Amino acid sequence: MNFKKFSTSTLVVLSLMLTGMGCNGQPEEIEQLPVDVSVEAEKVVSIDGIGWGIAFLPEGDMLVTEKSGKIYRVNGGEVVAEITDGIPSDLQVNGQGGLMDITLHPDYEDNGWIYLSYASSTGEGEGSNTAIMRAKLENDALIDSEVLYKAEPNSTRGQHYGSRIVFDRDGYMYFSIGDRGNRDVLPQDITKDGGKVYRLNDDGSVPSDNPFVGKEGIDAVYSYGHRNPQGMDMNPNTGEIWANEHGPKGGDEVNIIEAGNNYGWPVISYGINYDGTEFAEDTARAGMEQPILYWDPSIAPAGMTFVNSDKYPGWEGDLLVASLKFAYIAHLDVEGNDIGDETKLVEGVGRIRDIVQGPDGYIYFTAEGDGVYRLEPTVTETSEG
């Protein structure tokens, strides 16, 4: 799917119901008001460096990871703490790698667990690879840290760490690790890390029904044939995990992640090499999944979030995807498992790395080297004729 047409706002229809009853004893629909929803980016806080991931504490404070190795705690539009105590000593900042995603356990208020992804130098070989850890936050320091997964071996290449983390309704944790620039070896081999989406229990143990348990493969692997998934979220309507991933020159994708599926990289792709030459054998092949959307040209998709808030009427169930390359948010109209129109939002703010829906229902995103913004909606009635 190649999007060419864009608009600047979304037209929706709201039905208003009478508080009294109609003649048949049922609520009476009296009017349908077309409304126009437009958004502007309002800065919440200035932050130096690359804000990679956002999470919200129950009391409302925002935690923002910064790639070089710190976590900003934000309250009332100000950075009230720069958390460095407890940041892993094996963190390696290399190319696209560093301190990356952050998310809270679904039962955070009961157990206090925070989950982080980072580029770790621990293990076999020079360089680093993606690690997943959990820790607790106490007095602006990370304590009780546990590494739950570490990809092997390390690589000195600086690309494709993946690293987005998301929980599903059943409490399983999913995370992504890119192909680390080794596309011809890792993504199609289920015995090797890289180019995969993984699923673990919240304590790092492997669910017994993971697709490759008891087979010749890595037990933690859930799907394979990926390039570099940097956006992932659970669809609130279906409970399915959706992910986006970077293609090469063209061929960025959105996929629905299902157990044991092969998403084709690099055997099939809608992209080409950066020098203009072709490499993929085809764009489709039996036994390999097709994306539900692909971009050409590439937009370099990063964070993504589903909207299930009433702050943006008519957007419920739609998908927002951050673009690094073109510095905008792609608003994708979702109907079931299909994606329709795309609308560009807040163009020109900067390279957008992460985007999340906050507990207040508003959408927040990070602009690299700048800070965190909130999407401020304006809802206006429009003429019907």
Model pLDDT for residues 108-117, shown as the tens digit of each residue = 999 999 999 9
Q: Please give the average per-residue pLDDT across 290-298, as a whole number.
A: 97
pLDDT score, position 229: 98
Confidence category of residue 4, pLDDT binned at 50, 70, 90:
very low
pLDDT score, position 382: 72
Q: Inform me whether the pLDDT recorded for 2 exceeds 60.
A: no
Beta sheet of 319-323, edge-to-edge order: 301-306, 319-323, 328-335, 338-345
SS3 236: coil
DSSP, residue by residue, 128-169 = BEEEEEEEEEETTEEEEEEEEEE-SS-BS--S-----EEE-T
pLDDT in tens, 23-51: 455 555 545 567 789 999 999 999 999 99
pLDDT score, position 202: 98
What's the CATH architecture for 12-292? 6 Propeller (2.120)
Active site annotation includes 160: yes
Q: 198: which residues sit within 8 A by CB, 6+ positions away?
A: 149, 174, 175, 176, 177, 220, 221, 222
The model's pTM: 0.91
Q: Inform me whether the pLDDT recorded for 3 exceeds 90.
A: no
Task: Single out the catalytic residue among 160, 226, 246, 331.
Answer: 160
pLDDT in tens, 176-204: 999 999 999 999 999 999 999 999 999 99
pLDDT score, position 381: 78
Break the chain into its structural domains and give their ranges: 1-11+299-385, 12-292
Strands (E), 235-362: 241-245, 252-257, 293-295, 301-306, 319-323, 328-335, 338-345, 352-357
pLDDT in tens, 209-250: 999 999 999 999 999 999 999 999 999 999 999 999 999 999
Please tell me the distance from the alpha carbon of residue 9 to that of residue 34, in angstroms, as a whole number: 13
CATH of domain 1-11+299-385: 2.40.10
pLDDT score, position 144: 98
Q: Inform me whether the pLDDT recorded for 253 exceeds 70.
A: yes
Confidence category of residue 257, pLDDT binned at 50, 70, 90:
very high
Which among 272, 273, 318 has a CA at the least distance from the CA of 293? 318
Higher pLDDT, 53 or 6: 53
pLDDT in tens, 308-350: 999 999 999 999 999 999 999 999 999 999 999 999 999 999 9
